[in-house]
Structure 1
Amino acid sequence: MHVAATPGEGLLVLAGAPIGDIDSVSPAFRTALSQADVIAAEDTRRFVDLLRRMGLEVAGRVVSYFEGNEASRTPALLQDLQDGRRVVVVTDAGMPSVSDPGYRLVHAAVEAGIRVTAVPGPSAVLTALAVSGLPVDRFCFEGFLPRKSGERRRRFAEVADERRTMVFFEAPHRLADFLTDAAAVLGADRPAAVCRELTKTYEEVVRGPLGDLAAWAVEGARGEITVVVQGAAAPVVDEAAAVDRVRTLHQGGMRLKDAAKQVATETGLGGNDLYRAALETDRG
């Protein structure tokens, strides 16, 4: 992929790096690095090793850009962009700004009217979803949860009714505690999958109920961990009770259409259907 920048104007490129297998490197990724004036790398040592494994030399200036210096380094990188340079952001693995450095610079560049593009690449989130065996038509990414159990359980409580499949990141030494808390709050029978070392030599995907996975994880897990958890089951809605609720709200002074709309939001049923059913009941 060749993304041309307007002459005299900078271009910010977010480049997705391999999450493991070096064969995941795309020609577009190579081109982006070769064309860069500045490369902002999360870990310069790992980046140099990546270049070695790719057999690639780059002419651009390489600077570190990680969580600890992201805020302080962003203004200088923004200045590079405003001076017309092509800046490429590369993190240790996956797509920059997705639970990795990059968001601050993207936001600053957008605010400054600078073009931002991306070289799509491997993603632990999408890879884990694809191999999890869980529904993937709708999903959400929750990233890393708090390290303390009490705070983590409160976060699980916030998403306990989430209907979409959820994706989390977790450190291997906290995996057992994470899964124990998830089982306690979301239910020990909730289906899930633990994906570790995706695309690497020792890739492993363990699927099962959260309770079983928590017991399995006690023995310890190593490597990069992504956890996929199935969303909450749709509640069983009593349509007759929903219509009664509409009528009760209406009798309390609410317009019938507004009452139907509110109950539709609460139950997931169709507002027009509830309105017609309540109207027919009143007429009967």
Structure 2
Amino acid sequence: MVGEARRVNRTELGAALRALRQASGLEAKAVARSAVMSTGKLSKIETGRAAPSVVDVDRILTALDVSTDIKAQYMAAARAQATEATAWRLYRRLGFHRKQEQIRALEQSMTLLRLFQPSLVPGLLQTPEYIRAVLGPKGLSEEQLGRTISARIDRQRVLYNTDKTLRFILTETVLRWRILPAPMLAEQLDRIVFLSRLPNVDIRVVPLDAPQTDVPGHSFVIRDDRVVTVEATHAELVVTDPRDVAVYVDKFDRFSSCACSGDDMRAMLTAIGAEFLREQETG
């Protein structure tokens, strides 16, 4: 463990992070690599030329292996700006495969993931064909597309890590959205059924005919009751204020209570998959 507890505010956060790194004896290159960012970006953060996101600070502190108390103090400073937005055009410039690597780093450090999705199959559950269909409209070159697909598939290894709990809630419309030809959609549903049998994975579906007191709104991901990520059309939002995180936890729990799970959920997916296959046979 490195560093001693000290009062940190937002304006001096970069310099404080640099002091922590220097005290650790680690070179900037090594810390940047562990934090899944470029050395240039780390330099800008440390010199105050770039404001670090909450996720950036979390990864840097993890790379430095600081104590729990120190991490809490520095994260509190980072959370002074409770909601951050990063436009998708910036991720396009950096490379979507790099974004997948950043998400993978987050997933490696978390112990509990809760994901609500009313629009499409979550990335961790997607087949390669589904991933390609989702990324197609983003205008990536074939090389960029291939690298991003590979990075997303690599992320899916977290599903088999029994030290982590992964909970997914989908709406029935997700299963029926015609983003692929019918046979490929049937394969995607088979994939979800298979993954639902993993001991640390819980997948639930909210049926269209289930009585509701809430509306889906948009997708979101909750990691360890600490960070919520929301995907809007133009940008990704990161929410860290505990009061706001609690709102998303409550919404997740409400939809979980009216979703079907286990054998009932698998029977639903199998029936929808059979519809797709019959459609192909009679088409």
Check whether TM > 0.5.
no
Q: Which has the larger radius of gyration?
A: 1
Q: So what's the TM-score if we normalise by structure 1?
A: 0.26
Greater relative contact order structure (CA < 8 Å, 6+ sep) = 2
Q: So what's the TM-score if we normalise by structure 2?
A: 0.26
Task: Indicate the structure with greater strand content.
Answer: 1
Task: Indicate the structure with greater helix content.
Answer: 2
